[in-house]
Homo-oligomer: A and B are copies of this chain.
Amino acid sequence: MPIQELSRINLNLLVCLQALLEERSVTRASERLNLSQSAVSKSLSRLRELTGDPLFTRTAHGLMPTSRALTIQEQLKPILDELWKVVQPQVFDPLDCDRHFSIALPETANHLKFQNSLAEILQSAPKVKIKLMNLTLKSLEELAAGKVDLVALPDDLDCGQHRISGLHRKRLYKDKLVCLVRENHPCLKRPWTLEACLALGHIGIGAVTDRVSITDQTLAKLGLDRDIAVAVGDFHSATQVCESTDLMFVSLGNWAAYAEGLYRVVSLPMPIEVEPIAYDLYWHEMHHQDLAHQWLRSYFRV
């Protein structure tokens, strides 16, 4: 691996050599390169030093390459073409892209929201592979480590997004909170007030002692509290508990719409004004300029 020695030689001279090989004349080469004759002539003498070969000899009809120059000519053109490609801006063709993307989504709302997008992605880029992962507390760390390409995150969840640098973020959409109760729940026959709501036992996501959700924070500001009777790990479990008990579940609009078709539950509005949950898409700076990434991200709309 000859980096040390490569760094000693001036690769720019090789472009000049290519021009000389093509034109076989210092003057014409200098025109091609927008330089003066003398500049190219000096480059040629530097090339002669570099290669230890005269490279060209003067004749009546311009320069005649030495056999060394001719063997160089065969090699050089494709190399320079490759180099040119390297510095050219990337091009991105969805039909041609065969990359693997890992995307971490919160278990509920985003799956629903982005199932259509997913179909579109796979349709316009048939060779692309997508790995969908459930959002965990480690998702952002994996994002920072380059192991995950995209993470969607509800803004009431602290996964350390403020501690991790080098992240980019795009606000996706907001979803308002709603209350889910089982069909024929007694409360449906009574007026639906804050008092009625707090009189019910609640189902929480995460640990029973968690009080980090928007709901709890808003209640706390009003000096109120709710009774989380059951805490479960995911939305499906929560909804199943909701269906089979008199407990209520503070859920999200998207999920509620989905759950009402799947479980025997109905939704009620939040009895107090609660800030809606915002979803943010996160990605690592390393992918920010990546055309394929930009294309992928474009499917995650507001």
Copies of this protein, total: 2
Residues of B within 8 A of A53 (CB): 289
The distance in angstroms between the C-alpha atoms of A57 and B67, with both chains bound, is 46
The one of B1, B65, B287 that contacts A66, using a Cβ cutoff of 8 Å: B287
The distance in angstroms between the C-alpha atoms of A220 and B7, with both chains bound, is 67
A225 at the B interface (CB under 8 A):
no
**Interface size, chain A (Cβ < 8 Å):** 60
Knowing A4-B32, A53-B289 touch, does A76 contact B65 (C-beta < 8 A)? Answer: no
Residues of B within 8 A of A292 (CB): 67
B67 touches A287 (CB 8 A): yes
Residues of B within 8 A of A109 (CB): none
Q: Which of A11-19, A181-189, A273-281 contacts B (4 or more CB under 8 A)?
A: A11-19
A290 at the B interface (CB under 8 A):
yes
A286 at the B interface (CB under 8 A):
yes
Say how far A90's CB is from chain B's closest CB, in angstroms. 6
The distance in angstroms between the C-alpha atoms of A2 and B50, with both chains bound, is 24
Residues of B within 8 A of A287 (CB): 66-67
Residues of B within 8 A of A209 (CB): none
The one of B19, B54, B89, B293 that contacts A289, using a Cβ cutoff of 8 Å: B54
Residues of B within 8 A of A65 (CB): 286
The one of B32, B68, B85, B90 that contacts A3, using a Cβ cutoff of 8 Å: B32
Closest 6 CB pairs of A and B: A11-B11, A67-B290, A66-B286, A53-B289, A57-B285, A7-B33
- Enumerate 17 A-B pairs (CB-CB under 8 Å) in ascending A order: A1-B22, A5-B84, A6-B84, A7-B15, A7-B19, A7-B33, A11-B14, A11-B83, A53-B289, A59-B144, A64-B146, A66-B285, A67-B290, A67-B292, A71-B90, A72-B86, A75-B85
